[in-house]
Each structure stands twice: as C-alpha cells, then as structure tokens.
C-alpha cells in the first residue's frame, strides 16, 4: 500500500476493484465504514460478482473478469475528457509534460501493438518509448560547467509529444460504450462510478483504490496496477491522506516476506537479484538511477553483502558480490513447476504453503511432485502437499519421492515481527509454546544452516565459500532478536561521516538508512534490509519510554490523521504514507486543511507535519535541480517522487514494463470474445506454455465454443488461501464446509440446476464437482452484443482436513503475467452441468 489501513478513514471515495476486503481483509471495513459514516465517503465496488464488499457499497458495477484495463482506461478517459484531473498536481508532480520520442507509436496507430515489437523473440525494444532529451549546461561537483542531458519538457499539456497528449490519445479509445461492450458494465453504471470517483480530483478531496489478486492474477496484471496508478496520479490522489494505490496483501505477513525477497527476482529491500549478465558489482550497480534516491543503491547492496559475509566481504573482492546467486531465467511459479514436471527439479522445500491446492493447472503441477527425489514440508498440519503420495487415485507404491513433514509452530507460538499491507511492522510475543515436537521456522532453519555449514566445513573449493563464509551468529539456539538486529543494521566498526565524526559506534544498531547514505565508511555497516533500517533501533513511544521502534505501542495521533507514528514502525523511515511530499502543493502548502499531512515550514526551513516527510527534510519547495548533481541534488523542490530518476510520478512508463508504456487491453488467454479494441487478442509478450498439450493432463487451452462460460476464483472470509490452517480449524470448517460454485439464476434456469445441486465444472484442464449456489448476485453479461455467463468459485478446498472439496485450481490455466509471471487464476473458460 502507498498508504495504510487506518488512512482509509481519510478517504472521500473508496474504489475497490479486483479485491474484496470485506471478506478477505475484514478489519479494513473498520476504516472504510468510518470514512463512509464520518465523511460521507462513497464506496464503489467493481467486481464480476456482487460480493460481501459490494453489499456495503453505494455503487456496485459488474465487470467481466479480465477487462479491468478497459474499465480503468475508461475512467482515465472520462477524467481527461471532462478535465477533472488535478492540473497543478499533474503538471508539477507527474511526467505529463515530458516529451516522448517522436518515433513512439501506440496501439491506436498500430492496432494493438506499441512501437518496437520484435516478433522473433516476442518482446519489445523500448527505444521508442523513451523521453526526448535536451542538453543543458550545469556545474558538476568540481564546479566545472558541463553539458548534461535532461528530459525535454513540453510547454503545455496539449503539446502532441507530451506524455499527457499521448495519454489522452491512447485512452480516447476507451469510451463508455467500449466499457459497456467489453466489460459488460452498463454505461449508466460506469458513468456513475466515473462521476463519483473523478470528483476526488478536487484539491480538497481524495480517493483511494483498493485492489488485490483480482487485479494482479491476469496476464495483464502489472498493467492493471499501472492503470490504477495513472488514474490516481491524474486525480492527484497519490501521496495524500485518503488516497493512494493500495495493494491489499493476502496474508498477514506476506508484505514482510516480500520485503525480505520472497520473490524470485529480488534481494531484500527490493535491490533486485543480479543476473548472470552482471558479472561484477560495478556492472550490477549501473541499474540504479543516478538522479534519484536510488543513487544510494550501491551502498545498500554493500551493507547487505557485509551483513551476509562480514569480514569475507571486502572492497577488494567486490564485497563478495560473486557469492550471490545470479539469475539466468524466470524462476517464477509456473516455470518452477514446469521444471518439476519435466523432472529437472529434484528437491522441494515447502514452508507454510500448500501448492497442491494453490497452483494453476494443479493436476499437471501435482504430477511434478512425483518426479522429486525429496520434499520437505514445514507445516502446522498434514496438507495435501505433504500427503500427495497418498492422494485419491495415487498408488503410494509408485511414488519414489521421500517426503519429510516437519511440524512447525503457529504465528502465535513464536515471537517476531509482522508487516502489514500498510508496511507497518509490529512485534509480537509468543503467547503459547508450540505443541509436541513443533518448532519455530527459524529454529528449523538455524539447525538446517548449521548442519549445511558442518557438512561443508572441510571443503576448500572456492564455490563453497558462500556457505562457509556466511555470517551465522544468532546464538546456539537462534534468537529472533539477533536476526532483527541484523535486518535493522549495526556497526561492524565505528561508522563515521566525512568529517570523521562517529555516527554509530561499533556494535550499536543503526538509527536508519540515512546513515548508510551519509556515512563515509558505509562498508563498516551490516544491514540485512535497508528499508527496515531503524525498525529495531531504540525509539521513543511518545510517552518518554524508549524501546526498539517496532515494539512500540504508543497511541498518540498528532493531527488526528491516523498516522499513529509511535505505534510500531513503518518502512521506510517510519513513513506512513509514501510520496507524501505530494500531500502539499508544489509550493509546500497543504492542498487543503482537511488533507493536511506534511508541509514546508518556511520559518524553520524544514518539512514538518503528522507523518515523516518522504523528502529531504530541509529541501525547500523552490529548490532548483542541479542536472549535473548526483542523487536528489539532481531533483528540484517540486520533484515529489524521489525514487524516480526524474522525480516524477509516471503517467507514461518509458521503462520497466514489458508490454508497453501505457496499459492496453488484451483479452485473457481464455476469453469468450474477440478483442473488441484491436486485432491483437492477447498480451504479445506472454509465454503460453504447451507442455503435453492435447493430453489428459497438459497445458491445454480452452475455447469459447466448448467452454462458453467465464469463470473466476475467489476467497472466503472463513478460509485462508489453500486452507492448510483454516480447513483444519473446526469452527471455520463448520462455517464453510465444502466446495461450491456461484451461478446466476439465469444460468441455473438454462442448465436446469437447482440450488444445492451437485454440478460438474469443466475446463480444458480438468473437471471438478461442486455444490451449486444459485444466487441473484451474479447476472449474465452482454459482451459485444452477445450474452455471456459468468460464474465464480472459491479455491480453498481439497481432500485433507475437516472441510474438503474439489480444487478450483484443477481448472485454471498455466499462463502468467507479462511482467511478474503471476498466474492468470482470475479469468478462464469453463462449462457447468448438473451431475446425473
């Protein structure tokens, strides 16, 4: 989340699209309800089904799954056409005025493609998406006048080369009529949504967008999120209280694990995993912009390497950069399981997840388990994954995989920190000992690492140095606080500034990452995750009591904006709202009294307010950029987005996205219709897997003639993810005991299905049974003048535990997003029939 949970109360319009917080993030409704009740905020829910969130909404707009870009693009178009954007914000804080290469062409001209597509490798060359630059003279660090290239700024938003003009042109095609024909949303409903949410473009209003997997689990998932960001930037809703683009994370600490590099392409703190092409540290560090706060990226990488390899990481050996594993491909979920299916992967360590149930085209993925030599599962309960060898229809004698089930402790049975979607980190103390032989994950990993080190202790091979040199100093029995200290960062030697003043004495914890950015000998710092730096440092809890910041429970709320700065600690730098420089006008004063968060105190010459400013505290709004400067010196006092090379919020993304600088609609892999926007049916950069295509178990793709019904999956309040925990809790199993499928009354009537009937749902990948839940909450869609039925079902179930049922993911396709590779769980084709 750019903002945070409590901040939802500051919103004037809450747009939930591709999420269902009432069901999956119940506590969010404490704050949404507060906004509605106290501020008269409007709640808008856009979703294929009328869900529990929709039940509380002022406006519910149905949308066919997989068409979010059309809906959001329609909103962007509406905002631009009706000039409802916050012009001052757009001009100052976004790249709206920046000129794009004259060679750039968009889908409007290229029938769905952007310029630069190479059919040979199904990828874009982004050269034509780049900013136009111009040379300016500036003084470098030594005071010499030099010529520097800077992005060329257009004089007005109407300049045809400007980002804004391209944006307007691109989305002019996304008319309310198109929304109705593609999304199936009635125009009148869409226009009501547009009018309501666009009203937050007013300087004294803010609107928030909440989303979850309904946005991301598509082949255009990343672009869905981009579309929301564009809309929010236009309306001036980024960086302001009650605004933001807010990803509602699906598990209590998935934000924390992502921060610690859960994803395959990352290092802790989003430093990015080096590729095999980046042979040395210097090459790797060129990826960091030199004209943003990322100019400190090299320092953050260095302190991370020092944390991991300590004395073995020296300036001379590139701080042991070569110890880091380098990626040479896509290690995301689908390729991982394809490799397992093909027998390439030999071992699997499963910690707190249940891939048997959660993976797409699950029948194929499960087959992969059988090719493993070994599998280790760390879990609270026996799961379908750990029991795959004795699943219905599987002969245990034919399975060669050796499976180890390590009983693990529950979250309440261990101490440590949890990070919420709002980046708020809170420390929890263990409240009960784990039962039986169950152990904390950290205990198990400590034992494992010590055993690995022991196994290699006599090796002299260079390739084993990363294991042997790894700093593993958390005590005989691992102390989670020792790990926290390392994540926070501590001084390996006295840390000094340029004037030799000691900033942090040897052994002390780091007060925050600014020390890394300013230290002269930053390589005397070990820091496991720079964005967490400061979270375990001593801090005041608001009442004069000092404790590790993350453990604080101070309840002061200066300004009443819900920032609660003394409660826990939020990354980065205890900042509750990201980009909050933009909560003030370019001149540093709040946009309105009601949305006051941080502002420039001209008297004290400092940024101040109710939140930690996401800015250099002393950088005045009228500061001029020095184009020859390094880092933030290259940015002006109105460049609010300090992590961007140009200091601007990107309406147009010249780099970072594989399928284009602007979100463009493509149909899901399995779609009931031709793309009504262009001839390009499907995201051209997405790899379509075809392993064992045509076989009973294989990467099969269905078509609308055989599978005419659109299906999506969802979660229930009562269950959690693949159900390993919730399906073993009697009360929750009682509350939602088995698999069902939600079907509209209309479809039920056509198919002769009654409520409670047993039905069979088939896709190109398989078939499952479920109980029909016939409801008024689903309606058929008119797509391009043709009636399309849409159904949905939960994906929690399988055969182990107290609540059992067939798995929805037996039906989902093996295809991932063009950037993140997240599987397209949310839109696929099926047929439904009554059993018997």
Partner 1 sequence: MSSIAMLVDTSKCTACRGCQIACKQWWDLAATRTKQTGSYENPRDLSPETWSRVTFNEYEAGGKLQWLFLNLGCMHCTQAACVDVCPTGALQHNDTGFVSLDREQCNGCGYCVEACPFRIPRLDVVNTLTGEAKASKCTLCQDRVTNGLTPACVKTCPPGALQFGDRTAMLSVARKRVDTLKAQGVAQARTYGETELGGLGRLYVLTAPPTAYGLPEAPEYPALVNLWHNLAQPLGYAGAGLMTAGLAVNWLLTRRARLSNVEEK
Nearer of residues 594 and 737 to partner 1, judged by Cβ? 737
CA distance 634 to 646: 8
Angle between helices 187-198 and 68-81 (to 10 degrees): 60
Nearer of residues 193 and 774 to partner 1, judged by Cβ? 774
Is there a contact between 14 and 8 (Cβ–Cβ < 8 Å)? yes
Beta strands at 424-428 and 525-526: parallel, antiparallel or unpaired: unpaired
Nearer of residues 393 and 730 to partner 1, judged by Cβ? 730
CA distance 160 to 669: 34
CA distance 437 to 637: 58
CA distance 149 to 296: 21
Minimum distance from residue 592 beta carbon to partner 1 (Å)? 24
Cα 103 from chain centroid?
32
Nearer of residues 35 and 425 to partner 1, judged by Cβ? 35
Q: Prior bond to 573 cis, omega within 30? A: no
Nearer of residues 166 and 779 to partner 1, judged by Cβ? 779
Local structure of 419: helix, strand or coil: strand
Minimum distance from residue 736 beta carbon to partner 1 (Å)? 7
Minimum distance from residue 2 beta carbon to partner 1 (Å)? 22
Minimum distance from residue 756 beta carbon to partner 1 (Å)? 4
- Residue 41 DSSP code: -
Minimum distance from residue 55 beta carbon to partner 1 (Å)? 4
Minimum distance from residue 743 beta carbon to partner 1 (Å)? 10
Minimum distance from residue 773 beta carbon to partner 1 (Å)? 5
Q: Which two tokens stand for residue 632?
A: 């933030």
Taking alpha carbons only, the member of 80, 266, 106 closest to residue 662 is 106
Minimum distance from residue 789 beta carbon to partner 1 (Å)? 18
Nearer of residues 30 and 693 to partner 1, judged by Cβ? 30
Contacts with partner 1 by CB under 8 A lie at: 22-23, 26-30, 32-34, 37, 40, 50, 52-56, 58, 60, 717-718, 730-740, 755-757, 771-777, 802, 805
Nearer of residues 398 and 731 to partner 1, judged by Cβ? 731
Residue 346 sits at the vertex; the CA angle it makes with 341 and 352, to the nearest 5 degrees, is 85
Minimum distance from residue 99 beta carbon to partner 1 (Å)? 46
Write the DSSP assignment of 606-656 as a string of letters.
EEEESS--SS-TT--TTPPP-TTSSGGGGS-TT---TTSTTSSB-SS-SSS
Nearer of residues 272 and 738 to partner 1, judged by Cβ? 738
The tokens 């929304």 sit on which residue? 179
Nearer of residues 415 and 771 to partner 1, judged by Cβ? 771
Burial of 121 (0-12, 13-18, 19+ CB in 10 A): exposed
Nearer of residues 8 and 230 to partner 1, judged by Cβ? 8
Minimum distance from residue 757 beta carbon to partner 1 (Å)? 8
CA distance 304 to 274: 13
Nearer of residues 130 and 771 to partner 1, judged by Cβ? 771
CA distance 93 to 240: 12
Minimum distance from residue 759 beta carbon to partner 1 (Å)? 10
CA distance 555 to 565: 8
Q: Which two tokens stand for residue 308?
A: 């991991």
Q: Which two tokens stand for residue 361?
A: 């085209």
Minimum distance from residue 738 beta carbon to partner 1 (Å)? 4
For residue 568, what are the contacts with CB-CB under 8 A and spacing of at least 6? 424, 425, 426, 427, 549, 550, 551, 552, 553
Taking alpha carbons only, the member of 648, 636, 631, 621 closest to residue 99 is 648
Nearer of residues 339 and 735 to partner 1, judged by Cβ? 735
């Amino acid at each position: 989340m750019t903002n945070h949970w409590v901040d939802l109360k500051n919103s004037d319009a809450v747009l939930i699209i591709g999420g269902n917080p009432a069901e999956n993030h119940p506590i969010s409704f404490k704050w949404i309800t507060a906004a509605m009740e106290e501020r008269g905020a409007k709640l808008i829910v856009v979703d294929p089904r009328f869900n529990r969130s929709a039940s509380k909404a002022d406006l519910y707009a149905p949308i066919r799954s997989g068409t979010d870009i059309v809906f959001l693009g329609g909103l962007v178009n509406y905002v631009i056409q009706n000039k409802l954007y916050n012009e001052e914000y757009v001009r100052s804080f976004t790249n709206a005025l920046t000129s794009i290469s004259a060679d750039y062409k968009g889908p409007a001209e290229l029938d769905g493609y952007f310029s630069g597509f190479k059919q040979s490798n199904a990828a874009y060359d982004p050269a034509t998406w780049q900013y136009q630059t111009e040379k300016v003279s500036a003084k470098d660090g030594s005071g010499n006048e030099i010529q520097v290239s800077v992005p060329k700024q257009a004089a007005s938003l109407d300049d045809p080369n400007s980002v804004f003009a391209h944006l307007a042109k691109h989305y002019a095609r996304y008319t309310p009529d198109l929304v109705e024909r593609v999304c199936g949303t009635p125009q009148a409903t869409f226009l009501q949504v547009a009018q309501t949410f666009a009203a937050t473009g007013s300087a004294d209003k803010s609107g928030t967008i909440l989303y979850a997997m309904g946005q991301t689990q598509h082949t255009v998932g990343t672009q869905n999120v981009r579309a929301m960001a564009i809309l929010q930037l236009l309306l001036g809703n980024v960086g302001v209280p009650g605004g933001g683009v807010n990803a509602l994370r699906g598990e209590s600490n998935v934000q924390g694990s992502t921060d610690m590099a859960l994803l395959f392409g990352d290092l802790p703190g989003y430093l990015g995993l080096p590729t095999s092409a980046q042979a040395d540290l210097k090459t790797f560090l060129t990826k960091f912009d030199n004209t943003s706060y990322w100019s400190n990226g090299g320092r953050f990488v260095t302190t991370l390497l020092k944390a991991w390899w300590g004395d073995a990481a020296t300036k001379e050996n590139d701080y042991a950069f070569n110890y880091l594993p380098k990626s040479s491909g896509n290690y995301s979920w689908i390729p991982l399981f394809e490799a397992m299916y093909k027998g390439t992967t030999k071992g699997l360590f499963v910690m707190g997840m249940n891939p048997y149930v959660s993976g797409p085209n699950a029948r194929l993925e499960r087959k992969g388990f059988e090719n493993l030599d070994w599998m280790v599962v760390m879990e609270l309960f026996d799961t379908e994954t750990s029991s795959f060898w004795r699943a219905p229809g599987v002969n245990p004698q034919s399975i060669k995989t050796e499976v180890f089930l390590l009983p693990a402790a529950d979250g309440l049975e261990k101490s440590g920190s949890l990070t919420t979607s709002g980046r708020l980190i809170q420390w929890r103390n263990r409240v009960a000992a784990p039962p039986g032989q169950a152990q904390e994950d950290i205990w198990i990993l400590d034992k494992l690492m010590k055993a690995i080190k022991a196994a290699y202790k006599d090796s002299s091979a260079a390739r084993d140095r990363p294991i042997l040199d790894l700093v593993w100093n958390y005590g005989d029995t691992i102390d989670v606080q020792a790990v926290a200290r390392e994540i926070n960062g501590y001084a390996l030697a006295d840390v000094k500034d340029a004037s030799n003043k000691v900033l942090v004495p040897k052994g002390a914890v780091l007060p925050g990452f600014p020390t890394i950015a300013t230290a002269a000998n930053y390589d005397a710092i070990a820091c496991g995750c720079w964005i967490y730096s400061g979270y375990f440092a001593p801090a005041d809890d608001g009442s004069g009591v000092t404790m590790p910041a993350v453990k604080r429970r101070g309840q002061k709320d200066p300004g009443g904006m819900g920032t609660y700065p003394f409660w826990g600690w939020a990354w980065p730098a205890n900042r509750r709202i990201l980009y909050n420089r933009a909560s003030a006008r370019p001149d540093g004063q709040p946009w309105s009294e009601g949305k006051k968060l941080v502002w420039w105190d001209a008297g004290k010459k400092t940024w101040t307010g109710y939140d930690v400013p996401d800015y250099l505290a002393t950088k005045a709004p009228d500061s001029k950029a020095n184009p020859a400067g390094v880092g933030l010196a290259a940015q002006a006092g109105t460049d609010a987005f300090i992590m961007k090379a140009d200091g601007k919020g990107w309406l147009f993304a010249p780099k970072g996205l594989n399928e284009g600088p602007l979100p463009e609609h493509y149909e899901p892999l399995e779609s009931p219709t031709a793309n009504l926007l262009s001839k390009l049916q499907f995201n051209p950069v997405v790899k379509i897997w075809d392993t064992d295509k045509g076989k009973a178990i294989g990467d099969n793709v269905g078509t609308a003639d055989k599978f005419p019904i659109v299906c999506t999956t969802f979660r229930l309040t009562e269950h959690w993810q693949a159900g390993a925990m919730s399906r073993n809790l009697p009360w929750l199993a009682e509350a939602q005991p088995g698999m069902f499928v939600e079907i509209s009354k209309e479809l039920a009537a056509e198919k002769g299905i009654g409520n409670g009937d047993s039905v069979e749902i088939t896709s190109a990948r398989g078939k499952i049974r479920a109980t029909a839940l016939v409801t008024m909450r689903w309606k058929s869609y008119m797509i391009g003048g043709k009636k399309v039925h849409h159904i949905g079902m939960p994906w929690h179930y399988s055969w182990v535990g107290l609540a059992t049922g067939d798995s929805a993911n037996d039906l989902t396709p093996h295809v991932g997003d063009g950037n993140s590779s997240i599987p397209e769980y949310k839109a696929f084709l099926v047929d439904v029939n009554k059993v018997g």
